[in-house]
Copies of this chain bind each other. A is one copy, B any other.
């Protein structure tokens, strides 16, 4: 920005949306040095918003802005401390001039490592070995070479790209699937058309779901796509639960045809009694793939730096394409 879009002399007001029981951001004193900070929860958001330029969504699964939108009389920028902004977006926000930013970059390396951990755990049968051990059974088996395995990464944003690079570094045969097909992508080599996903699944060993949740991606891994995967294929979901037809996937796992590592689920926490808790081929983790030691610091520092840019009259970026629902590369 060559032209400041706001008066750099005016001190911004930031509403910090958090929740009871949520660990607060770090660096709060630094934020207070840059701006007037109003802490609130979903219940008090409408009271906190009037006059505030900035909303910092720390309670990342909150959809509270939609119902408090009428009170957002001065809002110009919303930052969400998450990669996915699906919980935040609604038509009023989409149609407004309010800028939305997300935690772009923070989770790329951590989630890539988590996906690699899931790939290796599957191919080296670590869960099966652990089960046998705890049953007191010594049973030699053959495992699978990871080098040369065929991986399809669905989602070509920062996390998908970091995942592809890491998986290629250990010798797997990686392709991507996204909105813009390519034969010459620097991270993926080949990017397939995600709108025709069902056609590209017949030779996939590991399918990694890391797309943003939008109307275009909701349910993209449906019954037909799951059926197109070969016997023994392994699904890893670190995107959003709603990308996948979870009931259809559960049936495939129960039949012993597919297995999965699911860090995200349609309903979180996974409800009591859900068969995914107990199926041998289902490995469920509580939405933690990107949350490495220090992650709250990193998220807080990212917002602090963005706020510093904002206070000086700049616009932090890259910004979310609100009509698409993600940062468009």
Residues of B within 8 Å of A127, CB to CB, are: 126, 130
Known A-B contacts A117-B120, A124-B113, A292-B144; the reply to A286 vs B136 at CB < 8 A is: no
Kindly identify, within residues 257 to 312 of chain A, every residue whose CB is under 8 Å from any CB belonging to chain B.
268-270, 272, 277-278, 283-288, 291-295
Complex interface: chain B residues within 8 A of A277 (CB) = 133-134, 136
Measured CB to CB, the closest approach of chain B to A284, in angstroms, equals: 5
Residue A197 CB within 8 A of the other chain: no
In contact, B292 and A134 (Cβ under 8 angstroms): no
Contact between chains at A286 and B140 (CB < 8 Å): yes
Bound together, the chains give a CA A113 to CA B123 distance in angstroms of 10
Q: Which residue of B136, B143, B291, B292 contacts A291 across the interface (Cβ within 8 Å)?
A: B143
| A residues 129-157 touching B (CB-CB < 8 Å) | 129-130, 133-134, 136, 138-147
A255 within 8 A of partner (CB): no
B residues less than 8 Å from A114 (CB atoms): 124, 143
CB-based contact B133/A126 at 8 Å: no
Q: Are B120 and A170 closer than 8 Å at their CB atoms? A: no
Which one of B121, B136, B146, B288 lies within 8 Å of A121 (CB-CB)? B121
A147 and B270 contact, CB distance less than 8 A: no
**Residue in B closest to A148 when the chains form the complex, CB atoms:** B109
Are the C-beta atoms of B140 and A291 separated by less than 8 Å?
yes
The interface bits of chain A over 81-118 (1 if a CB of B lies within 8 angstroms of the residue's CB, else 0) are 00000000000000000000000000001100110111
Closest to A270 in B: B138
Query: A117–B113 contact, CB under 8 A?
Result: no
Q: Can you sample 27 A-B contacts with CB below 8 Å?
A: A113-B120, A113-B146, A113-B147, A116-B120, A116-B170, A117-B117, A117-B121, A120-B121, A126-B283, A129-B286, A130-B283, A133-B283, A134-B278, A138-B268, A139-B286, A140-B286, A140-B288, A142-B288, A142-B291, A142-B293, A143-B288, A143-B292, A143-B293, A144-B293, A145-B292, A145-B294, A166-B170
Query: Which residues of A come within 8 Å of B, CB atoms?
Result: 109-110, 113-114, 116-118, 120-121, 123-124, 126-127, 129-130, 133-134, 136, 138-147, 166, 169-170, 268-270, 272, 277-278, 283-288, 291-295
